[in-house]
């Protein structure tokens, strides 16, 4: 299964692609979609939409994993990110690829084993889990890879639970 992880943003949208088979994850690609600062919101959203459509076409994912929003201190930034996230969800929906959403805490739990892990711990574990020679950069791309790993692990867990459930019902 090929998973496209997306770390939403407006100036920078992280993406990471991971192939997952039988509990093993393999790095495929990562990077960012960038929009120019000092540009109106609508053109930035259009850039994100077009670039994400190209990524979906290029990598043909079986699933898309998107981070749920977490508002901390700056609500204005959070609203702009929410606009970007909306465009990401629309692009994914129109592509027909199933979308799965995870909170930052769920991602950290799946990747590090601790829901309050620090960013550097997540980056380190992404590097180790994907056997990368160096840490994925920038941080948005590392977060996107973590989202893809989170879905791979959650999917495996859900399949195992479903299989156990089938055994109990037979």
Is 166 an annotated catalytic residue?
no
Do the strands 24-34 and 12-21 form a parallel or antiparallel pair, or are they unpaired?
antiparallel
7, 19, 68, 143: the active-site residue: 7
Does residue 16 contact residue 144 with C-beta atoms inside 8 Å?
yes
How many Å apart are CA 63 and CA 43, to the nearest integer?
Answer: 27
46, 51, 57, 67: the active-site residue: 67
Orientation of helix 119-129 relative to helix 139-169, angle to 10°: 70
Question: Among residues 27, 26, 33, 45, which one has the least CA distance to residue 7?
Answer: 33
Going by C-beta distance under 8 Å and a sequence separation of 6 or more, which residues neighbour residue 66?
Answer: 5, 6, 8, 85, 88, 89, 92, 99, 100, 101, 102, 147
How many Å apart are CA 111 and CA 95, to the nearest integer?
Answer: 27
Does residue 110 contact residue 67 with C-beta atoms inside 8 Å?
no
Is 7 an annotated catalytic residue?
yes
21, 140, 143, 164: the active-site residue: 140
Q: Active-site residue numbers?
A: 7, 67, 140
């Amino acid at each position: 299964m090929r998973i496209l992880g997306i770390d939403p943003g407006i100036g920078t949208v992280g993406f990471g692609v991971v192939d997952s088979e039988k509990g093993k994850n393999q790095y495929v690609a990562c990077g960012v979609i960038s929009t120019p600062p000092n540009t109106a919101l609508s053109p930035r959203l259009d850039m994100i939409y077009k670039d994400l459509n190209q990524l979906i076409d290029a990598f043909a994912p079986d699933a898309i994993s998107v981070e749920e929003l977490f508002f901390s201190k700056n609500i204005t930034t959070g609203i702009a990110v929410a606009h970007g996230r909306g465009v990401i969800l629309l692009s994914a929906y129109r592509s027909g690829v199933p979308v799965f959403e995870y909170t930052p805490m769920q991602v950290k739990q799946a990747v590090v084993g601790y829901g309050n892990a620090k960013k550097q711990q997540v980056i380190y574990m992404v590097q180790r889990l994907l056997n990368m020679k160096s840490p994925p950069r920038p941080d948005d791309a590392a977060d996107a890879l973590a989202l893809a790993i989170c879905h791979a692990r959650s999917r495996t867990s859900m399949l195992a639970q479903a299989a156990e459930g089938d055994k109990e019902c037979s």
